[in-house]
Structure 1
Amino acid sequence: MKNKEGWDGKMRVEPKAVITNPEALEDSDYSDPEAPPVEEIDADEDLLADEDVNTEEIDLVHCRISSLSALHLERFEKLRRLCLRQNQIQRINFPSNVAQSMKELDLYDNLISHIKGLDEFSDLTSLDLSFNKIKHIKNVSHLVHLTDIYFVQNKISTIEGLEGLLKLRNLELGANRIREIENLDHLAGLEELWLGKNKIVEMKNLDALQNLRIISIQSNRLTNITGVSNLPNLEELYLSHNAITDLTGLENNTALRVLDFSNNQVSHLEHLSSLKNLEELWASNNQLSSFDEVERELKDKENLQTVYFEGNPLQMNGPAVYRNKVKLALPQIVQIDATYLRV
């Protein structure tokens, strides 16, 4: 019997829960890699019932798939490319025969927290795990045939776990939580490195990547340009939305064709004299104010066809005459901002 306060006349000790994973209280996306798998509910219908079993490509985009086993992929023994974008997949779990034949696997925009289940994908060349919930790059270093790997918009804070990917050409790590460029020395064949929208304060540890053609490091925390002077094959450099104040550090990058430093704090076009191969210069929303400097630094760039200067004092202080002044300074130009010039 209990009274109205709930007291039943006995000394009761409320049991206290023991929290074995305190991280869960601090991180709403926390998931324990050792926890039992979430139960997957099989689909009511066979989404691939009408698919030719000899097909080499399957696309199932935005189909609310949560259970890979419900797809019965084992019947597609010639499958080479599988796209399962925008579904509800939490675990990578494929039949062995499919894993061994697969070349391209696209799991963009799912609910994957941990990279597991790729052990048998021995011939994979392209892997897209963008827009998931991944915090750590693990269990991919055995995929020695990978040329392209994508981790856009995850929760990755450290570049790691890529040892062995000697054929990698394209590494996409945009929109994560990375603060430092590191652990890339072994990727000597890398040609494209995408690091936009992270928390990087300095470009460094890039000298071993002699084949790099493209670096995108937009929307980070850079205040100057460093770390690229020993990259002779660099053709495209994207630096927009940082806090860069001058263009020192590009003098040796004579192969540059595209330079984007929009939305920074650059006030002078110095240090570009050696960039004879420049074709596109994106410089919107800086502090550039001198047409004389534009002519002096860029007129000799015979291949230069496109310039973006809108949002600078040289455009805002005289918008009515801005385009004519650019044309007079740079007669070789065919595009000013988003507008093509009449021939």
Structure 2
Amino acid sequence: MDTAPNASVDPPIPTNGILQDSKGWDGKLRVDRKAVITNAEILSDPEYSDEDAPPVEQIVADEDLLEDYEPDSDDIDLVHCRISSIPALHLERFNNVQKLCLRQNQISHVELPSNLGPTLHEIDLYDNLISHIKGLEGLIHLSNLDLSFNKIKHIKNVDHLKELRDIYFVQNKIQKIEGLDGLAKLRNLELAANRIREIENLDTLTGLEELWLGKNKITELKNISHLGNLKILSIQSNRLTKISGLSALTNLEELYISHNALTEISGLERNTNLRVLDISNNQITHLANLESQNHLEELWASSNLIISFEEVERELADKKELNTVYFEMNPLQLKNPTLYRNKIRLALPRIQQIDAST
């Protein structure tokens, strides 16, 4: 329908050079832009990575790092070679590899050819960029696995490796001990420098001989009484306030419990096979409760609050196997550093080493 010649129509009003009608509309449709984040955890974790994301495209190396290796080589060692892609190494040409060391590289995904499965016993991926444990499915004879100094948050996909004897997960981002069920042959478990708050899920690891949990956030020694074969326990730099839960560990030979919040020595009455006891950097005021430690060889007690030479003699003079003691940075050393060593020698004439000096 045509508009009448004399109809009144508001002309556009120019504003800053832009034509607008009487209501200020310039004729453009505007929609509010709102970003939708599907993985909100990205905002709180700068190193977030999606476990199911496809691998980043790798640039093929312009040289063959393995050209000098014979086809029947059993030990391949490529440390600090800037490797980012395992497939680029073409390991399928080697049929007798027993030990593979790829330390200090830039590997983010473990991708191994299937022909390594029947022969590979050790794989060392220390200090790389690995976030998720994958690619170990066919390594049925693997006995030693080192994934220390990576970016791993969860222990997964290793419980099928029934021949494992040594696992190293040092300096990762692991918050929970898990995924180790059924590894009956495991002898050494290294979980130091992670974010673990509780000792748990070790029920099936009855053959374990060494457990390393230093530099975590553990507040209580528990859930380890079934580890009757344990010989070494390292629980340094945690948040312990007392020694407890060790009475069933009668085979324990070395206990490292420095850098905690202990105020006394206790709970070791049944650990009669202890050879090394490290209680340094705590708040212990008295040497006590060591009567049953007749096999003690080394006592590390630096940086505590011990003040009495008489107490040192009373508690340790009968330890016939004791050869090394550390008492530096205690009041008994700080108050009289000149006479300190001579007094220790008089109290413990069998001692061969005092602090760092023999």
Q: TM-score range by the shorter chain?
A: over 0.9
- Counterpart CA distance in 1 for 2:263 and 2:349 is 27
- What are the residue-to-residue correspondences of 1:43-192 with 2, within 5 Å? 43-192=61-210
- Counterpart CA distance in 2 for 1:8 and 1:104 is 71
Residues 96-105 or 326-335, more deviating: 96-105
Secondary structure of the 2:338 match is coil
1:256 corresponding residue in structure 2: 274
What TM-score do you get using the length of structure 1 for normalisation? Answer: 0.96
Instruction: State the 1:84 CA deviation.
Output: 0.2
- Counterpart CA distance in 2 for 1:170 and 1:137 is 15
1:210 corresponding residue in structure 2: 228
Q: Deviations over 1:229-257 (max 9, x none)?
A: 11000000001111100001111110000
- Counterpart CA distance in 1 for 2:17 and 2:197 is 58
2:314 corresponding residue in structure 1: 296
- What are the residue-to-residue correspondences of 1:8-23 with 2, within 5 Å? 9-23=27-41
Instruction: State the 1:9 CA deviation.
Output: 3.8
Give 1:285's match in structure 2, choosing from 279, 303, 321: 303
Instruction: State the 1:12 CA deviation.
Output: 1.8
2:351 corresponding residue in structure 1: 333
- What letter matches 1:323 in structure 2? R
- Counterpart CA distance in 2 for 1:9 and 1:201 is 66
Secondary structure of the 1:105 match is strand
- What letter matches 1:115 in structure 2? I
Secondary structure of the 2:211 match is strand
- Counterpart CA distance in 2 for 1:180 and 1:4 is 68
1:199 corresponding residue in structure 2: 217
Instruction: State the 1:8 CA deviation.
Output: 6.9
Moved over 3 A (4+): none
1:27 corresponding residue in structure 2: 45
Secondary structure of the 1:273 match is coil
Instruction: State the 1:17 CA deviation.
Output: 2.4
- Counterpart CA distance in 1 for 2:169 and 2:147 is 5
2:11 corresponding residue in structure 1: none
Larger radius of gyration: 2
- Counterpart CA distance in 2 for 1:91 and 1:303 is 49
- What letter matches 1:265 in structure 2? Q
Q: Are residues 14 and 50 of structure 1, via their aligned partners in 2, closer, same or farther at CA, if it must alter by over 3 Å?
A: farther
2:251 corresponding residue in structure 1: 233
Instruction: State the 1:99 CA deviation.
Output: 2.9
Q: Deviations over 1:42-95 (max 9, x none)?
A: 111111112111110011001010011110000110000000000000101100
- Counterpart CA distance in 2 for 1:9 and 1:64 is 57
Q: Which runs of 5+ in 1 are unaligned?
A: none
- Counterpart CA distance in 1 for 2:179 and 2:118 is 21
- Counterpart CA distance in 2 for 1:194 and 1:118 is 23
2:4 corresponding residue in structure 1: none
What TM-score do you get using the length of structure 2 for normalisation? Answer: 0.92
Aligned-CA RMSD value? 1.3
- Counterpart CA distance in 1 for 2:182 and 2:223 is 18
